[in-house]
Structure 1
Amino acid sequence: MSDTMEPWIAELLQSGTSGDKMTEKQRRIFESAIEVFAEKGYAASSTSEIAQRAGVAEGTIFRHYKTKKELLLSIVAPAMVKLVAPFVLREFREVLEDEYDSYDQFLRALIGNRLLFLQNNMSLIKIVVQEIPFHPDLQEQFKSVVVSQVMERMERVIEKFKSEGKLADLPATTIMRLSATAVMGYVLAQAFFGPKEGANWNGEQELEATIAFVMKGLAP
């Protein structure tokens, strides 16, 4: 693993994945699996490479995890159930609970918050984005634990602006979907292209264009 541990990894290692503290070998396996899964994806990863990075015999992995899938689930499922949702919401809560004069002001705060979260927790985002489309059990975990709680809070923000006549009279779920598509498109592009030298990307200009696009489309 890299010297700088992402916050979500540190918290999950501190609490353990099943209520018990990890042994030193389990910890090394867990950290190495996160690194390999994030770099290569689940399908292209091998337990032998995870074992090599962890400095353990491959058989040691199978004493703790019966299959590679179980190892993946031991990382993602507990993280979603007991860490990711509260972790995401804790980082998100200030944005969702603050008062805003306009929806575009809310969008600016939302974008800034998600950019910081993405930059600080890149391996988690990579694993979730890469693996959720191929694992129905992870999809259900994500929808029930993360999406439902975020949507509930965003709906209150949207209904407030609708009642004030500042947003189009569309269902809150439609406004969320349209907003999220534009916001996440910008956030992901900024995270992956923005910091790179030579990239043809003007973050501020793209931010203003994204917000203008959303606000024009959602104008009452």
Structure 2
Amino acid sequence: MSKRQWDILDAATKIFAEKGYEGSRTSDIAKEANIAEGTIFRYFKTKKDLLIGLLMPLMIKFFKPLMFNSIEKIMNNEKNEPINVVLKNIMIDRMALVRKNKPLVKTIMIESIYHPELLEPLQKEIAPKLIPIIDKFFAENIELGNLRELDPRLITRSVMSLIAGFSVLNSLFPEVFTTEGDEKEMEKIVDILINGIGGGKK
């Protein structure tokens, strides 16, 4: 992909995130990219092609680091750390990645409701490779006695839901869900995950 195409996609990401897909015009995208509107159509025939084109930067900037880099690195480097420390560091790492790519993630998240084909690479390529890595991590910690004997996939789903929910709520309602910072907040979330919310009364 050429630099010009990347510039157009970066501009489209900003405009779609600000105005939504339906409310955006290619003239706005051209202005943001500092190019003539006709230049866009040399690379992307329609506005829909632009939206689908966002999948490439999403895969490269977001999900490849998510899959192959930091999660496995954290898991491998911190095998001797307590489970709560490892989980906290994974969650902090994920939140940093979401924030770094917030306009792109926001656009894909919202527009996938109306254009489900945007999720196909995630469903067909990413999830089948990522989820077993996380399952294995939890299975190993169950064997070590660090976690209860539960289905590792259930734990994976619960942790991913916590991260996704935290990200969405902080993006959509930042004035309501204020935090003390990622590290403090993730410590609390991991504590709830490991110890539950019960008061100990029977």
TM-score tier (shorter): 0.7 to 0.9
What is the CA–CA distance in structure 1 between the aligned matches of 2:166 and 2:62, rounded to whole Å?
Answer: 22
Question: Contact (CA 8 Å) 1:133, 1:139: kept in 2 or not?
Answer: no
RMSD: 2.9
Structure 2 stretches lacking a partner, 5+ long: 198-202
1:186-205 equivalence runs, <5 A = 186-188=166-168, 200-203=178-181
Amino acid at match of 1:86: K
Q: Distance in 1 between matches of 2:38 and 2:66?
A: 35
How far did residue 84 of structure 1 move? Answer: 3.9
Change (3 A) 1:51 1:117: same
**Aligned mate of 2:34, from 45, 49, 55:** 55
1:122-142 alpha-carbon deviations (Å, 9 max, x no partner): 222222222223222221111
Structure 1 unaligned blocks of 5 or more: 1-15
Indicate the SS of the match to 1:41.
helix
Following TM superposition, by how much is the alpha carbon of 1:72 offset from its aligned partner in structure 2, in angstroms? 1.3
Q: For 2:165 and 2:6, locate their aligned partners in 1 and report how far apart those are by CA, in whole Å.
A: 34
Query: Aligned partner of 1:92: which letter?
Result: I
SS of the aligned residue for 1:134 comes to coil
Give 2:11's match in structure 1, choosing from 17, 26, 32. 32
Moved more, 138-147 or 205-214: 205-214
Measure, in 1, the Cα distance between the counterparts of 2:185 and 2:96: 17
- The whole-number CA distance in structure 2 between the counterparts of 1:172 and 1:199 is 29
Give the aligned residue type for 1:136: P
The residue number in structure 1 matching 2:165 is: 185
- Within 5 Å, give how 1:89-128 maps onto structure 2: 89=67, 90-98=69-77, 99-128=79-108
Work out the number of aligned pairs and report it.
Answer: 194
Q: State TM-score, norm by structure 1.
A: 0.73
**TM-aligned CA deviation for residue 150 of structure 1:** 1.9
Distance 2:29 2:35 in 1: 9
CA contact (8 A) 1:81 1:145 kept: no
Shift of 1:117: 1.4
* 1:114/1:28 CA distance change after superposition, 3 Å: closer
Q: Distance in 2 between matches of 1:102 and 1:135?
A: 41
Cα deviation per residue 1:91-145 (whole Å; 9 max; x = unaligned)? Answer: 3331232314433122111122112212322222222222223222221111223
